[in-house]
């Protein structure tokens, strides 16, 4: 190995050096991208705020300055996230034309301000998600068990934060958040998906929810469900057309059992429907439908 290194290390270093124009390098002289670890740290701070004392190393201490500590935590988190968002906007801007105008900082600040304004309503929605999990799973012994151990709550919490940033068109960061949740839970929810309150994914592993899905209130999915695209439109040059409706809508009070695959941007699952396990569905069904695979013989 030493002999090989003597012969090859210099040329290998030159080939891999970010200074030589590596196409995926994050160079400080350019955009200085948002940091993955910084974004994960931001998510952990959100969890400690939304679920006080549940995801740390100890309970929240009752004291006269409890409110002051939360205030400072919110302040620090807002400043950290706004800087990460600024970097995201700067990255997107430097791939077109960019002047040192402060616009990226303004956009980052506005995105975080909007998210923070929505935090109380996000927590209210999460309370409904937690209750849906507790009431929908006979194995759940308490809502605290749901909060502290259920992968669905981790995934949907991250999603509701990431979705708020996605709605503000923040580059990079919402996807980093959603893929972190995916790696932690096995649940893949694109940050663009719109999901109503009282949402529960039982077990969760292998669930995929596409970018343009719209899911109503009190919807329950089981493991292995895919809400995906049926096909991908291409332009005259054969490139995928982005920004169009590709994924199904699921109305209120729908249950979709394990392994079901529902595809297509024109597909609508009517409210109060039940979709059985391993069903393959590429067309709409009316409210109150019961769709299942019939075994012959």
Task: Report pLDDT digits (tens) over 102-149.
Answer: 889 999 999 999 999 999 999 999 999 999 999 999 999 999 999 999
Token pair for 269: 């699952």
pLDDT band at 19 (very low <50, low <70, confident <90, very high): low
Q: Are residues 137 and 273 in the same domain?
A: no
Averaged confidence pLDDT in the chain: 88
Q: Name the domain count of the chain.
A: 2
pLDDT tens digits, residue range 171-209? Answer: 999 999 999 999 999 999 999 999 999 999 999 999 999
Stretch 143-164: mean pLDDT: 96
Q: Are residues 163 and 222 in the same domain?
A: no
Domain ranges, residue 174: 32-56+67-187
pLDDT at 10 (0 to 100): 80
**What does the radius of gyration of the chain's CA atoms come to, in whole angstroms?**
22
N-to-C CA span, the chain: 65
In a domain, 198, yes or no: no
261 bridge partner residues = 226, 280
Contact in structure between 126 and 185 (CB atoms under 8 Å):
no
Q: Are residues 36 and 183 in the same domain?
A: yes
Q: Are residues 122 and 259 in the same domain?
A: no
pLDDT at 17 (0 to 100): 64
Token pair for 27: 């160079």
Give the integer Cα–Cα distance in Å for 101 and 255: 50
> In the 3-class helix/strand/coil scheme, how is the chain assigned residue by residue?
CHHHHHHHHHHHHHHHCHHHCCCCCCCCCCCCCCCHHHHHHHHHHHHHHHCCCCCCCCCCCCCCCHHHHHHHHHHHHHHHHHHHHHHHHHHHHHCCCCCCCCHHHHHHHHHHHHHHHHHHHHHHHHHHHHHHHHHHCCCCCCHHHHHHHCHHHHHHHHHHHHHHHHHCCCCCHHHHHHHHHHHHHCCEECCCCEECCCCEEECCCCCEECCCCEECCCCEEECCCEEECCCCCECCCCCECCCCCCCCEECCCCEECCCCEEECCCCEECCCCEECCCCEECCCECCCCEECCCCCC
pLDDT at 2 (0 to 100): 81
pLDDT at 64 (0 to 100): 65
pLDDT at 297 (0 to 100): 43
* 177 class by beta-carbon count within 10 Å (0-12 exposed, 13-18 middle, 19+ buried): buried
Q: Are residues 248 and 154 in the same domain?
A: no
Reply yes or no on whether the pLDDT at 295 is more than 60. Answer: no
Token pair for 211: 């970018």
Q: Are residues 286 and 251 in the same domain?
A: yes
pLDDT tens digits, residue range 46-96? Answer: 998 899 878 766 676 666 677 788 889 899 999 999 999 999 998 888 555
In a domain, 15, yes or no: no
Q: Pairing mode, if any, of strands 214-215 and 249-250?
A: parallel
In a domain, 26, yes or no: no
Q: Are residues 183 and 216 in the same domain?
A: no
pLDDT at 22 (0 to 100): 56
Q: Are residues 169 and 276 in the same domain?
A: no
Contact in structure between 70 and 49 (CB atoms under 8 Å):
yes
Token pair for 213: 């899905």
Reply yes or no on whether the pLDDT at 31 is more than 60. Answer: no
In a domain, 103, yes or no: yes
The proportion of the chain whose per-residue pLDDT surpasses 90, expressed as a percent, equals: 67
CATH number at residue 118: 1.10.3130.10
In a domain, 13, yes or no: no
Say what angle helices 36-50 and 103-136 make with each other, to 10 degrees: 50
Q: Are residues 119 and 73 in the same domain?
A: yes
In a domain, 27, yes or no: no
Query: pLDDT higher for 160 or 8?
Result: 160
Q: Are residues 212 and 156 in the same domain?
A: no
CATH number at residue 247: 2.160.10.10
Q: Are residues 230 and 274 in the same domain?
A: yes
pLDDT at 1 (0 to 100): 75
Token pair for 15: 């080939």
Query: CA nearest 48: which of 36, 39, 60, 63?
Result: 60
Reply yes or no on whether the pLDDT at 234 is more than 80. Answer: no
Q: Are residues 247 and 174 in the same domain?
A: no
Reply yes or no on whether the pLDDT at 21 is more than 60. Answer: no
């Amino acid at each position: 190995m030493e002999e090989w290194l003597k012969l090859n290390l210099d040329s290998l270093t030159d080939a891999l050096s970010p200074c030589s124009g590596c196409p995926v390098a994050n160079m400080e002289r350019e955009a200085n991208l948002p940091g993955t670890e910084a974004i994960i740290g931001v998510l952990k701070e959100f969890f400690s705020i939304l679920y006080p004392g549940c995801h740390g190393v100890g309970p929240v201490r009752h004291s006269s300055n409890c409110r002051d500590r939360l205030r400072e935590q919110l302040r620090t988190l807002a400043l950290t996230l706004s800087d990460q968002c600024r970097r995201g906007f700067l990255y997107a801007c430097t791939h077109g034309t960019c002047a040192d105008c402060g616009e990226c900082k303004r956009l980052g600040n506005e995105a975080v301000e909007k998210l923070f304004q929505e935090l109380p309503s996000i927590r209210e929605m999460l309370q409904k998600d937690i209750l849906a999990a507790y009431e929908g799973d006979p194995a759940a012994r308490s809502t605290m068990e749901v909060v502290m151990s259920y992968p669905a709550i981790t995934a949907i919490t991250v999603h509701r934060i990431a979705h708020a940033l996605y709605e503000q068109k923040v580059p990079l960061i919402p996807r980093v958040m959603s893929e972190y949740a995916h790696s932690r839970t096995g649940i893949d929810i694109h940050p663009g998906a719109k999901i109503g309150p009282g949402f529960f994914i039982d077990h969760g592993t292998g669930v995929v929810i596409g970018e343009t899905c719209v899911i109503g209130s009190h919807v329950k999915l089981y493991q292995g469900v895919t809400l995906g695209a049926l096909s991908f439109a291409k332009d005259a040059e054969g490139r995928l057309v982005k920004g169009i409706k590709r994924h199904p809508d699921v109305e209120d009070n729908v249950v979709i059992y394990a392994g079901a695959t529902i595809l297509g941007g024109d597909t609508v699952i009517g409210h109060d429907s039940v979709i059985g396990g391993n069903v393959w569905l590429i067309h709409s069904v009316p409210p109150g439908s019961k769709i299942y695979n019939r075994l012959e013989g």
